[in-house]
């Protein structure tokens, strides 16, 4: 073979050096994103998911998903994403977390035969908050299937971020409905992620505590749950105290950030960034599930914070900037026009697309009058009770808990972590109590009970309080 010229040899050496350097920095956490200059986003939406109806006076309106999707399409955001029509979750997939008798109940009960099942309503926590409506199980299959498919897309490396705004129903328990939630799609999606990713971080910015997800993974270190929410002991669901830190292998892997009424943009973003920087540096997750409940916005029907849509979206930007595979889901949000605006704006953040503040013409434009703006004024409605001293105290407690974490815990790979609902038996519980005395956090979380706590802001003052949801013209703050 002819000898290479000096220039060719130099080029070969340069390329070899570049290749070796590339391999050096291709760690498991960044190799999934390194070959793409732009974030690859997959958007999961079932066109029928917005057609279900909880009831005339019920605050949960699945129609908000239809409004969101119309804004996403009319802003042209679909051109920046892969769009998928997800399949429905199968019975077996839902049974990966939920109890067989509960799933059987959801499959069989209808408004027409509800009287036949009244004897189990209390057992499954069905009633005013979680009513029986037409197509209830089909609705659950649709939104849960989207989260499961989104998880599998991340596992396959087909996207860096997957969006399912119909998901995020974080209150549902293994054997009961709770807080408008019947099937916990977040737990089902996270169980899928655990088949491949060693550690999954769950982050919740809904105004209500993510109790169903926390309870499901309370005793494992493979999922860390972080929830920012209102807490005063009475506000639904009544959980989410600083001292709820996990148990067994999951001890210190549940982190709660309780907030008071009226928190504003600057305080919320500061605290969120401080806590999440600490969590990411310590836990080093392989994948993230972000629940973007929009009831933490100002002027929400059931909320009491002062967050703007821009600040809510800033939390999404912060999590996106960590460049970890991420599934983004919806959640709460009961002033539907603001929910649609918020999730549309956050979709634009995820696809790196700036949007005009003037909403585009669409079939539901009358829902957004009188301003027809993407960013209406939502702050200042509630007095801010989160003073600087309180925020510093919450941050200090969060940082203190993170110091007790085993950074990036090692795992024995399993398809699904066994018995995620299990709690310690006698000897282990005694050992936990001894360990707690060293940490100063020996208070156990409140027992999860089938008796629903009545939140102070969960329902309405009178029959007229929810007027106008069915007609756009009457929808005032």
pLDDT tens digits, 396-451: 999 999 999 876 776 655 445 555 544 334 434 444 444 443 433 333 344 333 33
pLDDT for 12: 43
Residue 10 lies in a domain: no
| pLDDT score of 316 more than 60 | yes
Cα-trace Rg, the chain: 23
Q: How far apart (Å, rounded) are the C-alpha atoms in residues 107 and 105?
A: 5
SS3 42: strand
- The string of DSSP letters for 214-233 reads HHHTTT-SSEEEEEEEE-SS
Average pLDDT, the chain: 85
Residue 7 lies in a domain: no
Domain span holding position 96: 35-474
pLDDT for 411: 64
Q: Which of 194-208, 264-278, 285-299, 419-433 has the lowest mean pLDDT?
A: 419-433
Tell me the per-residue pLDDT of 61-101, one tens digit each, with 9 for 90 and over: 999 999 999 999 999 999 999 999 999 999 999 999 999 99
SS3 326: strand
Q: How far apart (Å, rounded) are the C-alpha atoms in residues 437 and 294?
A: 38
* 206 annotated among ligand-binding-site residues: yes
Q: Give the total number of structural domains in the chain.
A: 1
Let me know: does 130 contact 140? Beta carbons within 8 Å.
Answer: no
pLDDT for 27: 45
Residue 404 lies in a domain: yes
- Read off the tokens for 93: 């997939």
* 208 annotated among ligand-binding-site residues: yes
Let me know: does 336 contact 469? Beta carbons within 8 Å.
Answer: yes
Average confidence (pLDDT) over 384-404: 96
Tell me the per-residue pLDDT of 366-378, one tens digit each, with 9 for 90 and over: 999 999 999 999 9
Question: Which has the closest alpha carbon to 452: 40, 128, 97?
Answer: 128
Q: What is the CATH number for 175? A: 3.40.800.20
Question: Which has the closest alpha carbon to 322: 286, 293, 347, 352?
Answer: 286
- Helix 185-193 and helix 136-155: axis angle, to 10°? 20
Residue 24 lies in a domain: no
Better-scored residue on pLDDT, 422 or 221: 221
DSSP H/E element including 327: strand 326-329
Average confidence (pLDDT) over 214-226: 97
pLDDT for 107: 97
Alpha helices by DSSP H, listed for 160-308, are 185-193, 211-216, 265-283
Q: Which of 192-196, 208-212, 387-391, 418-422 has the lowest mean pLDDT?
A: 418-422
pTM, whole model, 2 decimals? 0.80
User: What confidence tier does 7 reach under pLDDT thresholds 50, 70, 90?
Assistant: low
Q: How far is CA 255 from the centre of its chain?
A: 15
User: What confidence tier does 472 reach under pLDDT thresholds 50, 70, 90?
Assistant: very low
- Report the half-sphere exposure of 334 (CA within 13 A, side-chain side): 26
Length of the chain: 477
Cα→Cα distances 108→52, 89, 98, 136, 281, Å? 17, 16, 15, 10, 47
Residue 9 lies in a domain: no
171 is catalytic: yes
Q: How far apart (Å, rounded) are the C-alpha atoms in residues 454 and 302?
A: 13
Average confidence (pLDDT) over 178-200: 98
pLDDT for 381: 81
**Exposed, middle or buried: residue 95 (CB in 10 Å: 0-12, 13-18, 19+)?**
middle
What percent of the chain lies above the pLDDT cut of 70?
Answer: 78
What percent of the chain lies above the pLDDT cut of 90?
Answer: 75
User: What confidence tier does 380 reach under pLDDT thresholds 50, 70, 90?
Assistant: confident
- Read off the tokens for 32: 């999934």
pLDDT for 431: 44
* 300 annotated among ligand-binding-site residues: no
pLDDT for 95: 98
* 313 annotated among ligand-binding-site residues: no
* 129 annotated among ligand-binding-site residues: yes
- The string of DSSP letters for 106-165 reads HHH--TTTGGGGGGGTTTTT-SSSS---TTHHHHHHHHHHHHHHHHHHHHTTS-SEEEET
| Options 70, 171, 209, 229, the catalytic residue | 171
- Read off the tokens for 387: 């003073």
Burial string for 345-362 (b: 16+ CB within 10 Å, else e) reads bbbbbbbeeebeeebbeb
Residue 22 lies in a domain: no
Q: How far is CA 355 from the centre of its chain?
A: 24
Other beta carbons within 10 angstroms of residue 53's beta carbon come to 17
Question: Which has the closest alpha carbon to 320: 33, 79, 28?
Answer: 33
Tell me the per-residue pLDDT of 167-176, one tens digit each, with 9 for 90 and over: 999 999 999 9
* 295 annotated among ligand-binding-site residues: yes
pLDDT for 417: 52
Better-scored residue on pLDDT, 447 or 266: 266
Residue 29 lies in a domain: no
Tell me the per-residue pLDDT of 136-187, one tens digit each, with 9 for 90 and over: 999 999 999 999 999 999 999 999 999 999 999 999 999 999 999 999 999 9
Residue 175 lies in a domain: yes
């Amino acid at each position: 073979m002819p000898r290479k010229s000096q220039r060719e040899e130099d080029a070969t050496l340069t390329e070899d050096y570049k290749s070796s350097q590339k391999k050096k920095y291709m760690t498991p956490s960044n190799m999934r994103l390194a070959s793409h200059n732009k974030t690859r986003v997959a958007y999961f939406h079932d066109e029928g998911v917005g057609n279900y109806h909880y009831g005339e006076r019920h605050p949960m309106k699945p129609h908000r998903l239809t409004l969101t999707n119309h804004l996403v399409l009319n802003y042209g955001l679909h051109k920046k994403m892969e769009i998928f029509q997800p399949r429905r979750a199968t019975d077996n997939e839902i049974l990966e977390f939920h109890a067989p008798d509960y799933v059987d109940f959801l499959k069989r009960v209808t408004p027409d035969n509800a009287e036949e099942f009244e004897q189990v309503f209390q057992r499954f926590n069905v009633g005013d908050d979680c009513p029986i409506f037409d197509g209830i199980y089909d609705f659950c299959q649709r939104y849960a299937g989207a989260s499961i498919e989104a998880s599998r897309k991340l596992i396959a490396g087909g996207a860096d971020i997957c969006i399912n705004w119909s998901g995020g129903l974080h209150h549902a328990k293994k054997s009961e409905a709770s807080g408008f939630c019947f099937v916990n799609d977040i737990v089902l999606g996270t169980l899928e992620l655990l088949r491949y990713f060693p550690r999954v971080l769950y982050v919740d910015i809904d105004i209500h505590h993510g109790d169903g997800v926390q309870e499901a993974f309370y005793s494992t270190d493979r999922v860390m749950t972080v929830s920012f929410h209102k807490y005063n002991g009475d506000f639904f669901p009544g959980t989410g105290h600083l001292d709820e830190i996990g148990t067994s292998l999951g001890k210190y892997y549940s982190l709660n950030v309780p907030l008071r009424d009226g928190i504003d943009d600057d305080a919320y973003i500061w605290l969120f960034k401080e806590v999440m920087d600490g969590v990411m540096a310590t836990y080093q997750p392989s994948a993230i599930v972000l629940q973007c409940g929009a009831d933490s916005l100002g002027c929400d029907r059931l909320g009491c914070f002062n967050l703007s849509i821009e600040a809510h979206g800033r939390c999404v930007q912060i999590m996106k900037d960590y460049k970890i595979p991420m599934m983004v889901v919806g959640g709460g949000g009961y002033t539907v026009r603001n929910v649609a605006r918020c999730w549309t704006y956050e979709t634009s953040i995820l696809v790196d697309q700036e949007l005009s503040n003037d909403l585009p013409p669409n079939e539901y434009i009358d829902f957004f009058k009188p301003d027809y703006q993407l960013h209406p004024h939502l702050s200042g409605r509630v007095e801010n009770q989160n003073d600087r001293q309180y925020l510093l105290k919450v941050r200090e407690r969060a940082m203190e808990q993170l110091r007790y974490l085993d950074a990036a815990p090692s795992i024995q790979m399993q398809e699904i972590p066994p018995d995620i609902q299990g709690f310690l038996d006698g000897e282990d519980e005694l050992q936990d109590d001894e360990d707690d005395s060293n940490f100063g956090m020996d208070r156990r979380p409140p027992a999860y009970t089938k008796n629903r706590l009545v939140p102070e802001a969960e329902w309405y003052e009178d029959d007229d309080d929810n007027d106008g949801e069915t007609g756009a013209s009457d929808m005032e703050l």
